[in-house]
Amino acid sequence: MTTKTRAPSTYDPHSIHTPGSAAKQIARIARRMSTQQPVRPAMWRGSPFEFLLDMPPRRRGKVGEDLVEGYFARQSIPVHRAGRTDYDRLINEWRVEVKTSTLWESGLFAFQQIRDQGYDYCLCLGLAPRAVFAWAIPKTALHQHVIGHCGQHTGQRATDTWWLRFDPTAQPAWLQRHGDTMELAKGALAL
């Protein structure tokens, strides 16, 4: 009895170069998709912040930090990048965590990944297509209304990250004393 040996197959089902493979078909579809313009809500067309919609959340947050730094620097207020991960900027000796949200289609801001770390204030920068909102929230207020109350992933059972979601035209009463405009947020920081 003789056993036939097969020649090694060059068919690789994972390769996008293998003719007829699902990988090649998916690569073709992706190529077509990548040439299409992203579908954005009409309200963002022509906005100076429109470019943020194409960024992943971490990069969008970094841009928000840089916008806050640039604003305070232009106001001649000392601002420095943090040398640690507990907060993002040192603004006039206050340790400030910066959270950035673009306005969702639903009309809400959602400031995500709020953690209980070593900062004095959480500055929430809300960017709408043609408006800028800001709140400088002391950590004590976050403990009263957000941390331990608005869990991001598991509701009130969350133990690591929380979020603050609201409509800027109907913001919670407790939040109003902490800003609304960048000028008011600056005042809330006692600057």
pLDDT, one tens digit per residue, over 12-39 is 555 666 676 566 667 667 667 655 666 6
Name which of 119, 133, 121 is nearest 87 in CA terms. Answer: 119
Q: What pLDDT sits at residue 29?
A: 72
- Tell me: do 85 and 139 sit in the same domain: yes
The SS3 of residue 125 is strand
- Tell me: do 173 and 148 sit in the same domain: yes
Q: Per-residue confidence at 7, pLDDT binned at 50, 70, 90?
A: very low
Reported pTM: 0.78
Range of the domain at 26: 12-41
Supply the CATH number for residue 154's domain. Answer: 3.40.1350.10
The full length of the chain comes to 191
Q: Are 79 and 91 in contact (CB under 8 A)?
A: yes
- Tell me: do 16 and 107 sit in the same domain: no
- Tell me: do 158 and 71 sit in the same domain: yes
For residues 92 and 168, give the distance between their C-alpha atoms in angstroms, rounded to a whole number.
27
Domains identified in the chain, total number: 2
Asked if residue 181 is part of any domain, the answer here is yes
- Tell me: do 37 and 94 sit in the same domain: no
Asked if residue 75 is part of any domain, the answer here is yes
- Tell me: do 109 and 23 sit in the same domain: no
pLDDT (tens digit per residue) in 174-191:
999 999 999 999 999 876
- Tell me: do 94 and 28 sit in the same domain: no
Asked if residue 5 is part of any domain, the answer here is no
pLDDT (tens digit per residue) in 138-147:
999 998 888 7
- Tell me: do 164 and 70 sit in the same domain: yes
- Tell me: do 35 and 69 sit in the same domain: no
pLDDT (tens digit per residue) in 39-97:
677 889 889 999 999 889 999 999 999 999 999 998 899 999 988 788 999 999 999 99
- Tell me: do 69 and 16 sit in the same domain: no
Asked if residue 51 is part of any domain, the answer here is yes
Name which of 90, 72, 73 is nearest 81 in CA terms. Answer: 90
